[in-house]
Structure 1
Amino acid sequence: MQEDFLHYIWKHKKFEVNQLKTTQGDAVLVTSVGQHNFNAGPDFFNAQLKIGEQLWAGNVEIHVKSSDWFLHNHEVDKAYDNVILHVVWEHDTDIFRKNNTPIPTLQLKDVVSNVILNNYEKLFSKSGKWINCENDFASVDDFLINNWLERLYFERLERKSLEIQKLLEETKNDWEAVLFVMLTKNFGLKVNGESFFSIAKSVDFSIVRKVQSNQETLEALLFGQAGLLEQDIEDGYYSMLIKEYHFLKQKFKLENKHVISPQFFRLRPPNFPTIRLSQLAGLYFNNQNLFSKIIALNNLDEFYKLFDVTTSLYWETHFSFGKASKTSTKKLTKPFIDLLLINTIVPIKFCYAKQNGHDINNIILNIATEITSEKNSIVDAFNKLKKTSKTSLHSQALIQLKTEYCNKNNCLQCAVGSQLIK
């Protein structure tokens, strides 16, 4: 028996409410279970109860056994002076206030049905399962799952907002600078995400502002900071970039000693860091006030037009420096733009609106439901249990579900787990 299960039982009144009595035989009427406290102190604040003929308002503490009160040293903690009811699974000793009056105790094991207990034990029985509820996930009502996924989607946006808030503090609330860092990171995708993040962090965005009107100069800045201009290659464009970068390095006192080197290994040529950095330079070359444009747009097709950018001319015949390839226009693809929207644009818009007191949740939902679901191991595994993910809202929510609930055994805080226990 775990305390969090007892919290769940008390919070949701999963007991026979008409047959409650304290261990001393007084009838208990629960008007309000109180506010669940996840920090230090009693488990539930401001509960409202009637014990016998006396009305009480105060705190409720929950333990597996009554003796846990002493095990946790609550008898010497003033925070527990206002406890009006001690809720336990098993009563094994009486608890007293400082004035020697007993604290009423409610024993739950007498008033909780075997059905709930059996469902709880079934859910948490370990047998090498991917998630605790994998045998029953398909049986859960679609309406419940869809509502839960929408809530999880916004939970994930809140989590992503933490990184954005940290960057805002570092840049003194420069949203354009934060957008640049986040976009650069996600241009690197999974393999080069941290590398591109370090590249963006190595350059003050004021420098990007000064050079973005010249695409070749901006490329020189990005390639140079990435450490991609340090080889001996006979190539006119490469030599020009080196010369330009050396000028920028001296002018702006640039350093890149903390930059993580980008990787080419096991990447398809369209995802080479050279191509992605050139596309990023093209995006900023074509959009002098990118953040303002992103905040103004609320339509998915408008975003696709905004990100309709390509590399500079050199990269139409190259994937890496000095090695010519078949001519091809290397535009940002729709799936790639979708990833930028999911991981950068939507979180930025959400965080900016929240900071300024604007409610754009419906706009966010419209965008998220128009973008096709991501494909990854988590989404694929859930879809095998039950076809669940059709949009990016679903796929992002399922990632949140797996990482923050399933992996941490937080089934009692999950709408699916709660439903299965019922």
Structure 2
Amino acid sequence: MSDTAPAPAAPVAPRAGGVAPLQPVILGADIGVYALARSFHEAYGVRSVVVAGAALGPVAHSRIVDHEIVADGHDPRQLVDRLLDVARRMPDRRLLLMANSDWLVRVVVQHRAELEPYYVVPFLSEGLLDQISDKATFAEICERLDISVPRTIVQDFTAAHEPGWAPAAVDLDYPLIAKAASSADYQDVEFEGKKKVFEIATPDELTWLWSALRAAGFRGRFVVQELVPGDDTQMRSITAYVDSRGEITLLCSAHVLLEEHTPSGLGNPAAMITYRDDAMLEQARRFLTSTGYRGFANFDVKVDPRTDRFRFFEVNPRIGRNNYYVTAAGANPMRFVVEDQVEGRAVEPVVVDREVLYSIVPHRLLLRYVRDPQLAQRVRRLVRARATAHPLAYGKDLSPRRRAYVWAAKLNQVRKFRRWYPAVTETGF
């Protein structure tokens, strides 16, 4: 299956005396946005313009970003209008637009016609976005490509407002996993007990979830999947970049050590070690090539301890919240998109094999959760070798206020894990 890929943006004409300077513009204000700004600054020495509803902690008081604040950061029209306003004020810059959450990627893709006269928009087409962003459709694609996924049942709420609607039967063994097929459809749905991912232990819990979603006005699709056993250390992450010619120029994989366990952040990696796994990467390559993918992609994968098979959970149509692990491993992903989309040059493909420890939690906290002795030893070895990275701890952007924020962010991780995922044992250095 394939979809028509967006045409690469043509380079703007150079200014008199040289090429138009690069100007990254990024939607959002979370830790992943700061990581993008940091990677741009490391590679090109440029400040990024960050467009959001507020200057949140990760990007606040930063010397490497300029803020464009809109009244309502959840209003697509306000965001697009501000992007157009920024572009009109920077007519001599080569504007590269980035977004790093599913719904913001959709905003950009749906308004591509308005934005592309001013911006390089390095994202996949809307048709392909619709297909791969839906976890149910993603599972169908993977099955056709012989890529293993958990068994999936789809619950469609499109007609849930009708009196006779009833949820479909679920014949999976408990416990099981339930999550929105499209996170964009779930973004603004609010109800008590809302989570990013639900681990359902009994049929009664599933009945409660269906009722809560229906009452909250959710009219998208939810997927119910078999629970693949194993703790956080069974998870893997893959980041890829497919250039405007369809060439996969960047592949980087990481072994997850610890995930976040707050209701809103459940499943987001908190610590990873980069490594190379060609068998896993080959399956990602097959997916990207077969679908005609373009731009950045981030896959969530789990190793099934019963079979040692890779079980692909989803692909995010963006670089991912924890994108800095790629830069830390020596392959700054911003270079790949800039050379491809801005400079119009082919990039020699890279498969990252350098090992680094990426962590947003203190190392001592991490070691309380890594119970596998070999993994713990790898963590200690990388810490001693100083082959570590925290996306917020950027030496060129550590004013006193930023230092205080980074320290507070680490302390807050300790508090969050103590509340939502207390460690059973503690392992020191």
TM range (shorter): under 0.3
TM-score by length of 1: 0.23
**Structure that is richer in helix per residue:** 1
Greater C-alpha Rg: 1
Higher relative contact order (CA 8 A, sep 6+): 2
